[in-house]
Amino acid sequence: MRLLRAIFVWCNLFGVFELSFGAKERNYEFDVEYIYKKPDCLEHVVMGINGQFPGPTIRAEVGDTLVINVTNKLSTEGTVIHWHGIRQRGTPWADGTAAISQCAINPGETFQYKFEVDKSGTYFYHGHYGMQRAAGLYGSLIVDLPKSQREPFHYDGEFNLLLSDLWHTSSHEQEVGLSSAPMRWIGEPQTLLINGRGQFNCSLAAKFVNTTLPQCNFKGDEECAPEILQVKPKKTYRIRIASTTSLASLNLAISNANQLHGNGSEIHPWHLHGHDFWVLGYGEGKFKPLDAKSFNLTRAPLRNTVVVFPYGWTALRFKADNPGVWAFHCHIEPHLHMGMGVIFAEGVHKIRKVPTEALTCGATAKMLLNDTLH
């Protein structure tokens, strides 16, 4: 009994509860706030979670339920967090898209995201309100296979790389620019980050570290020192890569040097919420019915994001089997901000009771309150 209690207390401390048959409930408290950080050696205000930037890594097993209480500690703006790639089957209100799946969380308020992770993989989460992703609101979410199942390949160790981009202008300034007439584009990011670290001006150099610049000499304990992955020869490593960049399309090269390449904003990576889809094909010009002849109907890759090339089309197919209101949009944040997105309202009449917290904020909160008073 004492042992049991000890185990319970121990699990409790880490916010993990055993559900049925190995599936666990994992609890997190996320306080979203602006913090000072030196991600690229220069000090900036970025969005952090619990004082961390990028936010804490969430790690769970297939079948687990994540319970994340997100508290908005920003003083003047709403927030939400979207769990990118998680399908939210049966819990569309936990998708974390402001004004689509829920009301924005007002300053001082807490919203509980509770959902099951039903598929293993390397995911990430990010803000889905205004330009909060560019402001730094993101982190990794990794879902492992259950212990009883083996990965299809063996590896001796693993690394998790979360790629992102950083601007020296604030996301507020960017928002104003984008909605001004004439519009002012946000421009290229100043620095590319791996796990929240990058070197302003050093990463432009062909060498890993440009030692000719004084700010590019690292002892290794600096906040912005390059992250070094320790590997042993003849071992196999799994590298998990997720890109939460707001703008940059990246190619990651592994050789003597790490090179990230910051262009290609004329391509549009489209992302679908609530589903994975099959990519059937793509081509140049406008899609013509004849193009369907070349569709890949037998070995189409399953994705949740796909690129549409300039002056081209991309065809995808998904099964509408998850009632909800789902965003489908270009994942370049300023493009979405300027309107490059649509919403699929899917089997909405089949959705069971939506938690009121998802429905209420601002005027709707007042409306609902009046309804209950009358």
| Residue ranges that bind Cu ion, judged by CB under 5 A | 268, 330, 332, 335
Among 26, 329, 335, 337, binds ligand C2O (CB under 6 A): 329
Q: Which is nearer to ligand C2O, 128 or 337 (CB)?
A: 128
CB of 274 to ligand C2O, least distance (A): 10
Among 82, 87, 335, 337, binds ligand C2O (CB under 6 A): 82
Q: Which amino acid is at 47?
A: M
337 binds, among ligand C2O, Cu ion, none (CB under 5 to 8 A by kind): none
Q: Which residues of 261-287 are buried (b: 16+ CB within 10 A; e: fewer)?
A: ebebbeebbbbbbbbbbbbbbbeeeee
Residue 211 and residue 225 in contact, taking contact as beta carbons nearer than 8 Å:
no
Q: Which is nearer to Cu ion, 107 or 269 (CB)?
A: 269
Residue 56 and residue 113 in contact, taking contact as beta carbons nearer than 8 Å:
no
37 binds, among Cu ion, ligand C2O, none (CB under 5 to 8 A by kind): none
Among 103, 202, 327, 330, binds ligand C2O (CB under 6 A): 327
Number of residues that bind ligand C2O (CB under 6 A): 9
- Give yes or no for residue 275 binding ligand C2O (CB under 6 A): no
- Give yes or no for residue 271 binding ligand C2O (CB under 6 A): yes
Match 């690394």 to its residue by tokens: 159
The bridge status of strand 341-346 relative to strand 277-284 is unpaired
335 binds, among ligand C2O, Cu ion, none (CB under 5 to 8 A by kind): Cu ion
- Give yes or no for residue 197 binding ligand C2O (CB under 6 A): no
24 binds, among ligand C2O, Cu ion, none (CB under 5 to 8 A by kind): none
CB of 330 to Cu ion, least distance (A): 3
Q: Which is nearer to Cu ion, 214 or 310 (CB)?
A: 310
- Give yes or no for residue 84 binding ligand C2O (CB under 6 A): yes
Among 26, 44, 128, 335, binds ligand C2O (CB under 6 A): 128
Residues 97-126 that bind ligand C2O (CB under 6 A): 126
273 binds, among Cu ion, ligand C2O, none (CB under 5 to 8 A by kind): ligand C2O
82 binds, among ligand C2O, Cu ion, none (CB under 5 to 8 A by kind): ligand C2O
Among 26, 37, 87, 273, binds ligand C2O (CB under 6 A): 273
Site string for ligand C2O, 334-373 (x = CB under 6 A): ----------------------------------------
- Residue 294: φ, ψ to 5°: -95, 10
Q: What is the contact surface with ligand C2O in residues (CB under 6 A)?
A: 82, 84, 126, 128, 271, 273, 327, 329, 331
